[in-house]
Structure 1
Amino acid sequence: MEDNAETLARAIGERVKQERKGRDWTLDQLAEIAGVSRRMVVNVEQGAVNPSIGTLLRLSDALGVGLPALVEPPASRSAKITRSGEGAVLWTGPSGGRGVLVAGTESPDVVELWDWTLAPGERHQSEAHSAGTRELLQVLEGSLTVSVSEEIHVLSMGDALTFFGDVGHAYSNDSQQRTRFTLTVLEPGVGAAHRTETPNA
């Protein structure tokens, strides 16, 4: 498991560096546009950290490529299969829960498909995504509490929910059994806010 996490961190670092250099941006320029520290950009590019989903979203949006482009090889026109267990584990909970990105599309209209598992008592807090982001999820096992801004939705197995993800939101398992849900995230116009920006050298 550790080896997989290290391999993923290195792969993400290489792609971030490649995208940054392809734009002739310095570390400071990417850090400023993404709203993260220079030290974080350095650590990500060196594969020295497993960045949070929030940090990855900030970097991918700043680069205008979408999150899947940072964790998967460039897509071709042929179909791509992600075998069971091969998805990118981008979140792990303290009790063994996981957020796994299993499939995705490229920018500008990025679609992400996630497989989430939350152990009893686990919670994942997500910061607001880019404007217009939509999330669709369905509970496959157990129950799930979803907080969207001030609204709280309690879902049982088989229930589905659609909401705008451009506000703070969270998924939590308040039950005594494991929760599993599938999540689709649509982020329209990824990187559009940065496409006209030419960072100062």
Structure 2
Amino acid sequence: MYTILDNVDERIGARIRAERESRGWSLTGLAEKSGVSRAMIHKVERGESSPTATLLAKFAGAFGMTMSALLAFAELEEGRLLRLADQPLWVDPESGYLRRHVSPKSASGLNLVEIDLPPSAEIPMPAAAYRQAQQLIWVLDGNLVFIEGGERHELSTGDCLELGPPGDCVFKNESSRTCKYAVIVVRK
């Protein structure tokens, strides 16, 4: 069985606050860099609001890291083995997007994440969230539409796509069943 962290909103909020403070940024500074309002940042940092995937991508982009790296710091303990029962889950409160962190926390910069994207869900990600990483999308089951800048990629079970230069993108499930895919991230 998977682990949904009991205090995930608090842990994510604490991670965002730590990243902001380590850079010497005020709430206003992070708001300017991320495009997220000061009020929302304050709520997220205090664990009073569950951030959406889109908000997390904006924060990650402002910090110059991937969303996977941002969440890994909040979710994972040190160690080389991460058993299935201990792989943390995070659910986007807006879309129902389910994210399972598969890989152990690693200094190598490698992250493996499994996503369940519900039917009709659409998750936009800003280019800034991809600047510092090389990423692959591997469809494990179903169909995924990935829009990268102006290019549309229609992926089916087994297809694997290497992302191009950073550009705004959208993950879309235009089908009537859940799409399961993996994102493999290697920090540059």
Category of TM-score, reference length = shorter chain: 0.7 to 0.9
For residues 138-194 of structure 1, the C-alpha deviation after alignment (integer angstroms, 9 at most, x for no partner) is: 111122222222222222211211112611222222233332111113343xxxxxx
**Residue in 2 aligned with 1:86?**
87
Shift of 1:44: 1.2
| Paired AA for residue 160 in structure 1 | C
Q: Distance in 1 between matches of 2:162 and 2:45?
A: 34
Q: 1:60, 1:70 within 8 Å by CA — same for their partners in 2?
A: no
Give unpaired runs (5+ residues) of structure 2.
Answer: none
**Residue in 2 aligned with 1:72?**
75
- Greater Rg, structure 1 or structure 2? 1
| Paired AA for residue 89 in structure 1 | W
Structure 1 stretches of 4+ with a deviation exceeding 6 A read none
For residues 64-112 of structure 1, the C-alpha deviation after alignment (integer angstroms, 9 at most, x for no partner) is: 664135422464xx41415247323153564x542334347578x8443
Q: 2:145, 2:173 within 8 Å by CA — same for their partners in 1?
A: yes
Q: Which TM-score applies when normalising by structure 2? A: 0.74
**Residue in 2 aligned with 1:139?**
139
Report which stretch shifted further, 61-70 or 126-135. 61-70
Distance 1:151-1:158 versus aligned 2 partners, 3 A rule: same
1:3-18 to 2 correspondences below 5 Å: 4=4, 7-18=7-18
1:103-114 to 2 correspondences below 5 Å: 103=103, 110-114=109-113
Q: Distance in 2 between matches of 1:6 and 1:164?
A: 36
**Residue in 1 aligned with 2:169?**
169
Q: 2:76, 2:105 within 8 Å by CA — same for their partners in 1?
A: no
| Paired AA for residue 178 in structure 1 | T
1:120-159 to 2 correspondences below 5 Å: 120-128=119-127, 129-131=129-131, 133-159=133-159
Q: 2:80, 2:105 within 8 Å by CA — same for their partners in 1?
A: no
Pairwise CA RMSD: 3.1
**Residue in 1 aligned with 2:180?**
180
Q: Distance in 2 between matches of 1:23 and 1:163?
A: 28
Q: Distance in 1 between matches of 2:115 and 2:60?
A: 21
| Paired AA for residue 75 in structure 2 | E
Q: Secondary structure at the match of 1:14?
A: helix
Number of matched residues?
Answer: 181
Shift of 1:130: 4.0
State, as a whole percentage, how many aligned pairs show the same letter.
26
Give unpaired runs (5+ residues) of structure 1.
Answer: 189-201
Distance 1:127-1:104 versus aligned 2 partners, 3 A rule: farther
Shift of 1:29: 3.2
More helix by share: 2
Distance 1:100-1:172 versus aligned 2 partners, 3 A rule: same
Shift of 1:37: 2.0
| Paired AA for residue 126 in structure 2 | E
